[in-house]
Amino acid sequence: MGSALLALALGLQALAPVPKFDSGRAWEHLRQLVAIGPRPSGSPAIEQTRKYIKDQLALSGLTTVEQSWDDQTPLDKVHMVNLAVTIPGARKERIVIAGHYDTKLYRQFRFVGASDGGSSAAFLIEIARVLKSRKNPMTIELLFLDGEEARMPEWGGNDNTYGSRHYVEMAKRDGSLASLKAMLLVDMIGDRDLDIRRDTNSTPWLSNVIWEAARRQNLDDYFIADSTRIEDDHLPFLAAGIPSVDIIDLDYEAWHTAKDTLDAVSARSLQVVGDVVLASLPHIEAHLSKTLVLTGRRIVKRQSFRVLKAKSTLPRRKTLRHSMITTLSDGGH
């Protein structure tokens, strides 16, 4: 393509409207995931699930990075894999939107996790397509977590949230945690009778932004005012100081039963959560950009330079103190 043609194509792309979250597409992903059958960590079926997710992301022009490790559970050693997709934004600081794609291991019945494991994975595939076409002020990372479910029948101790704990540990180790500014978790968002309560473990300002976005869209029948306390994949992020929120409907009759099938979920519920998350994003970015402007090193330097140039008679100490104040105000969590 000639350079003029390329510029025109890029210009037209910039003018193109951002696609909306399409629950028809999300539903089709959910159907395909459920059709794979039970998808517990370490199973051939979860390997097949990863292939489906990666293939679908590739169709949206996105490259998946695998983070794999072997984890010791109370039952056995399990090969686990998180999948991550990065959609670069204007800034390198990033927001993670996460969900789990494993299903709980049950031997006594067939558990396909339509809402529990299926809805989050289907949602992430579809929102990836939407966000790929958006001009993102911050980088967005979509994170498909493995090993959310306890390997033993009961949820307890460290026998759960293997994927999120591993991700945070690695991000601390390789330094990438520093650029992670917020985490949104979706879990069990398919319930056809959707009612999402505020989780009191979640970061209040993030919950506020999301529930306000739901209110503005008249979706407060689904994002309700009640609250509850949830342990989930957001806890390792919160423990690491990352503002995080869990968007979860645990008031689900079919939870951890053979009835968590396509009959118990609806495309409408996926649409509600897609609309609310997309409407929240600009507000989350605005909130974060305020703290980033105050704390960002590049900007602090530029401000100092401007002060020096404009008021060259000022003592140097003043500029330094200004930088110190802005740096010390790093309290974004």
Residues that bind Zn ion (CB under 5 A): 104, 116
Question: How near is the Cβ of 54 to ligand 1BN at its closest, in Å?
Answer: 23
What DSSP state is assigned to residue 119? I
Q: What is the CA radius of gyration of the chain?
A: 21
Residue 134 DSSP one-character state: S
Question: Which of residues 116 and 126 has its CB atom nearest to ligand 1BN in the complex?
Answer: 116
Least Cα distance to 186 among 239, 122, 254, 267 occurs for 122
CA distance 260 to 34: 10
**For ligand 1BN, which residue of 71, 102, 116, 260 counts as binding (CB under 6 A)?**
116
| Nearer residue to ligand 1BN within complex by CB, 193 or 231 | 231
CB of 159 to ligand 1BN, least distance (A): 11
Partner whose binding site includes residue 188, from Zn ion, ligand 1BN, none (CB under 5 to 8 Å by kind): ligand 1BN
Rank residues 69 and 155 by Cβ distance to ligand 1BN and give the closer one.
155
**Interacting residues of 84 by C-beta distance below 8 A, sequence separation 6+:** 64, 65, 66, 67, 141, 142, 143, 144
Which of the choices ligand 1BN, Zn ion, none does residue 232 contact, using the CB cut-off of 5 to 8 A by kind? ligand 1BN
Closest to 232 measured CA to CA, from 187, 169, 181: 187
Least distance CB 109 / ligand 1BN (angstroms): 16
Beta strands 180-187 and 91-100, pairing class: parallel
Residue 52 in the binding site for ligand 1BN (CB under 6 A)? no
Residue 101: closest CA among 157, 47, 28: 47
Per CB under 6 A, the list member of 52, 69, 106, 155 interacting with ligand 1BN is 155
- Distance between CA atoms of residues 226 and 204, nearest Å: 14
Q: For residue 180, what are the β-bridge partners?
A: 94
Q: Which two tokens stand for residue 161?
A: 């949230």
Is 247 a binding residue for ligand 1BN by CB under 6 A? The answer is no
Cα separation, 45 vs 140, in Å, equals 28
- In the sheet that holds 138-145, the strands lie side by side as 64-72, 77-87, 138-145, 91-100, 180-187, 244-248
Q: Which is nearer to Zn ion, 116 or 191 (CB)?
A: 116
Tell me which stretch binds ligand 1BN (CB under 6 A): 118-126, 170-178, 224-232, 300-308. 224-232
From the CB of 118, what's the least distance to ligand 1BN, in Å? 11
Task: Enter the tokens of residue 90.
Answer: 């204007």
Q: Check binding of 106 to ligand 1BN (CB under 6 A).
A: no
Q: Which residue number places its CB atom closest to ligand 1BN?
A: 155
What is the C-alpha separation between 275 and 11, in angstroms, rounded?
A: 27
Nearer to Zn ion, 116 or 126 (CB): 116
For ligand 1BN, the closer of residues 57 and 183 by Cβ is: 183
Q: Does 232 bind ligand 1BN (CB under 6 A)?
A: yes
Helix or strand (DSSP H, E) at 247: strand 244-248
Q: Which of 33, 34, 171, 230 binds ligand 1BN (CB under 6 A)?
A: 230
- Beta carbon nearer to ligand 1BN, 200 or 327: 200
Q: Does residue 188 touch ligand 1BN according to CB under 6 A?
A: yes
Q: How far is CA 48 from the centre of its chain?
A: 22
Positions that interact with ligand 1BN (CB under 6 A): 116, 149, 155, 187-188, 230-232, 250
